[in-house]
Copies of this chain bind each other. A is one copy, B any other.
Amino acid sequence: MESKKSPKKEWMNTSRIQTLIDGIFAIAMTLLVLNLDIPDFPSDVTDATLSTFLIGMIPKFYVYGLSFILLAVFWRVNHGQFHFIKKADMALIWINVSWLLFVALVPFSTILIGEYGDLQSAALFFNSNMFIIGALSFTNWYYAYKKDLTDMDKSPQTFRRYMGINLSFPLASLIAIGVSLVHPALSTTVYATIPIIKRIGDIITKKIHD
């Protein structure tokens, strides 16, 4: 009774937004499967026809797997961030909602690239989607860090390290956008290089600052 709440203190704790994030990721990841649709073959379809069809779907399976893994990476990175973020203000909530808007768009980008991955506009759309997700993810961490919403150790070393982790994905998607202009169908392979970029980034930041 003595602690009647007044509206001013209506801060959001981070568990609320995290529940929404987990839900949207689980759904977006599962909806990717709707990309894989099966035509209505006539009822006397032969096994050879179906086999050929399934083998022809390999590019779609590749794109399904790629998007699934990329979404899992985003989810993982976001959870890594919220491991440190302890308070949320309105701006942080809306950075995350905007980010989710592009996360929920991934099933669409995935269909696009699954069907027309050899066309530049499809590859550009997919990679731009990834870039925006990466950039907003970086913004989330950078904003929380600067606004002191985290309980993170604020030494320059930690800052540099997290700068690297959070910039590697937007960087990779910028490269993928570049590759889209030259060879659209190959552009998505860039994401496989993220771990390598990360390692190089680690070495460079070490070299510069040590």
A binding-site residues for B, Cβ under 8 Å? 3-7, 10, 12, 16, 19-20, 22-34, 36, 38, 41, 45-47, 50-51, 54, 64-65, 68-69, 72, 75-76, 79-80, 83-84, 93, 97, 100-101, 104-105, 107-108, 111-112, 115-116, 119-122, 125, 151-154, 158, 161-162
Contacts and interface: CB of A to CB of B under 8 A. Distances in A.
Contacts of A5: 83-84, 151-153
A178 to B, nearest CB: 17
Nearest to A96: B72
Contact of A33 (B4, B31, B161, B162): B31
Nearest to A122: B50
Contacts of A162: 7
State the number of copies, please.
Answer: 4
Given A5-B83, A72-B97, A104-B68, A26 B29 contact: no
Contacts of A101: 65, 68-69
6 contacts: A23-B23, A30-B107, A32-B104, A38-B115, A68-B100, A68-B104
Contact of A7 (B26, B64, B161): B161
Nearest to A16: B79
A19, A20, A26, A28 pick with most chain B CB within 10 angstroms: A26
Nearest to A106: B33
A22 B25 contact: no
A186 B33 CA distance: 26
Given A38-B112, A153-B5, A119 B45 contact: yes
A152 to B, nearest CB: 6
Contact of A27 (B4, B10, B30, B38): B30
B25 A27 contact: no
